[in-house]
Amino acid sequence: MDHLDEIAVEDLHDALDNVEGKKPSQRLLAAVAYKNGVTQTELAEWHNTGRRTIHSWLKRLDTDEPLEEAVTDAHRSGRKRKLSEKEQQEFEEAVHESPEEVGVDAPAWTPALVQQYLDETYNVKYSIPSCRRLLKEAGLSYQKPRRTAAESDGDEQETFYEEFKKSGGRWTPQ
């Protein structure tokens, strides 16, 4: 590749010192190795990717922009949120309360309960994994119920078992 002939290995090392993130570093390391005689096929094997990907990484450096910018991906905004900022804030306040306090007959928040709540309250549909993410973003963490000591009396064991069956775990503030 002729375009790497114009770039000194020292410049690649300097850029490597100034970039942050795995991908930009990986791309610069591939360029350094290529400048030192490693083939694109070998680089593809090293990085567990295709030869075309390595070619694209090296071709990115054929630009007038600084190397640090050439190896960094542009920001990707992603999909628009289903809940508005106001609705998101209301939801986060709701899950910090017990479900009973917001009118839901359940002992604790679960992803399935959140899915139902969001559908009924805001008319939006979320998958169970997305509901887990929303709970985590709201500052909650999943807590499994701990088993009580085997020596406890039968009534306590029965109470624990019933609560365990109902909740299966709960999302609590961190």
Within the chain, which residues score under 50 in pLDDT?
Answer: none
The whole-number pLDDT of residue 124 equals 95
Q: What's the rounded Cα separation, in Å, for the pair 121 and 63?
A: 51
The whole-number pLDDT of residue 163 equals 67
The rounded Cα 1 to chain-centroid distance in angstroms is: 36
Q: Which residues contact 77 (CB under 8 A, 6 or more apart)?
A: none
Helices 128-137 and 111-122, interaxial angle, to 10°? 90
Half-sphere exposure of 35 (CA within 13 A, CB side): 19
Could you read off the pLDDT of 71-114 as tens digits, one per residue?
Answer: 988 888 888 889 999 999 999 999 999 898 988 888 889 999 99
